[in-house]
Amino acid sequence: MTANKDFRSGYVGIVGRPNVGKSTLLNALVGEKVSIVSAKPHTTRHRILGVLNSPSEQTVFVDTPGLRRASKGDRKRALHKLMARAINQAVEDADVVLMVVEAGRVTNEDRKLAELLKDRAEKAVLVLNKIDTIGSRSALLPILETASEELPLSAFVPVSARRSTNLQGLVNEIAGRLPLGPALFPQDMVTDRGTQFRIAEIVREKLLSAVHQEVPYGLTVEVEHLGRSEEDQCLIHAVIWVERANHKSIVIGKGGRVLKGVGQAARLELIEFLNDRVHLELWVKVREHWSDSERELKKLGFDLP
Model pLDDT for residues 191-234, shown as the tens digit of each residue: 999 999 999 999 999 999 898 766 767 889 999 999 999 999 99
Strands 155-158 vs 124-129: parallel, antiparallel or unpaired: parallel
What CATH number does the domain containing 211 carry? 3.30.300.20
Q: What is the CATH number for 135? A: 3.40.50.300
- Looking at the fold, whether 66 and 96 belong to one and the same domain comes out as yes
* Residue 164 pLDDT greater than 90, yes or no: yes
DSSP-assigned states of every residue in 175-209:
HTTSPB---SS-TT--BS--HHHHHHHHHHHHHHT
Task: pLDDT band for 83, please (50, 70, 90 cuts).
Answer: confident
pLDDT band at 69 (very low <50, low <70, confident <90, very high): low
pLDDT given for residue 79 in this prediction: 81
Same domain, 59 and 155: yes
> For the chain, what is the largest distance between any 2 Cα atoms, rounded to a whole number of angstroms?
62
Q: Which of 62-66, 122-126, 192-196 has the lowest mean pLDDT?
A: 62-66
For residue 119, the model assigns a pLDDT of 87
Check residue 145 and give its pLDDT. Answer: 86
17 and 148 inside one domain: yes
Show which of 175, 205, 230 is a domain's final residue: 175
Q: What per-residue confidence (pLDDT) applies to 18?
A: 87
Indicate if 72 and 142 belong to the same structural domain.
yes
Assess whether 203 and 163 both reside in one domain.
no
- Asked, for residue 188, whether it belongs to a domain, the answer is no
Out of 145, 175, 205, pick the residue that ends a domain: 175
- What phi and psi values does residue 156 have, to the nearest 5 degrees? -140, 145
Give the closest residue to 104 by CA, choosing from 75, 70, 138, 140.
140
User: Is 157 domain-assigned?
Assistant: yes
Residue 50 contacts residue 34 (beta carbons within 8 Å): yes
Please tell me the total count of domains within the chain.
2
Mean pLDDT, rounded, for 7-21: 94
Read off φ and ψ for residue 74, nearest 5 degrees: -60, -40
Q: Are residues 118 and 210 in the same domain?
A: no
The more confident residue out of 26 and 302 is 26
At residue 289 the predicted structure's pLDDT band, cuts being 50, 70 and 90, is confident
Distances, alpha carbon 163 to alpha carbons 35, 40, 116, 160, in Å: 17, 21, 30, 5
Name the pairing type of β-strands 219-228 and 96-102: unpaired
Instruction: Calculate helix-pair angle for 195-208, 257-274, nearest 10 degrees.
Output: 140
185 inside domain: no
Confidence bin at 88 (pLDDT 50/70/90): confident
154 and 34 assigned to the same domain: yes
Q: Which of 175, 210, 227 is the last residue of a domain?
A: 175
pTM tops 0.75, yes or no: yes
Asked if 212 and 142 sit in the same domain, the reply is no
239-259 pLDDT tens trace: 999 998 989 999 999 999 999
pLDDT band (50, 70, 90) for residue 157: very high
Looking at the predicted structure, is the pLDDT value of residue 122 above 60? Answer: yes
Is residue 11 a contact partner of residue 60, using CB atoms and an 8 Å limit? yes
Residues 222 and 152 reside in one and the same domain = no
Domain hosting residue 217, numbered range:
195-299
Neighbours of 283 (CB within 10 A): 13
Q: Which residues pair with 165 in a beta bridge?
A: 160
Contacts of 145 (CB under 8 A, 6+ apart): none
d(CA 170, CA 144): 15
- How far, in Å, CA of 129 to CA of 11, rounded? 20
Residue type, 80: H
Helix ranges (DSSP H) in 8-161: 22-30, 72-76, 78-93, 108-116, 137-150
Task: Establish if 3 belongs to a structural domain.
Answer: no
C-alpha to C-alpha distance for 119 and 287, rounded to whole angstroms: 42
Instruction: Give the side-chain half-sphere CA count within 13 A for 13.
Output: 25
Residue 304 falls inside a structural domain: no
What's the pLDDT band for 1 if we cut at 50, 70, 90? Answer: very low
Is residue 187 in a domain?
Answer: no
The answer to whether position 120 is within a domain reads yes
Residue 161 shares a structural domain with residue 36:
yes
Question: 12 and 103 share a domain?
Answer: yes
pLDDT value for 2? 47
- The amino acid present at 165, given as its one-letter code, is T
User: Is residue 17 situated within a structural domain?
Assistant: yes
* pLDDT tens digit sequence for 168-199: 999 999 999 999 999 999 999 999 999 999 99
Which range of 99-113, 124-138, 262-276 scores highest in mean pLDDT? It is 262-276
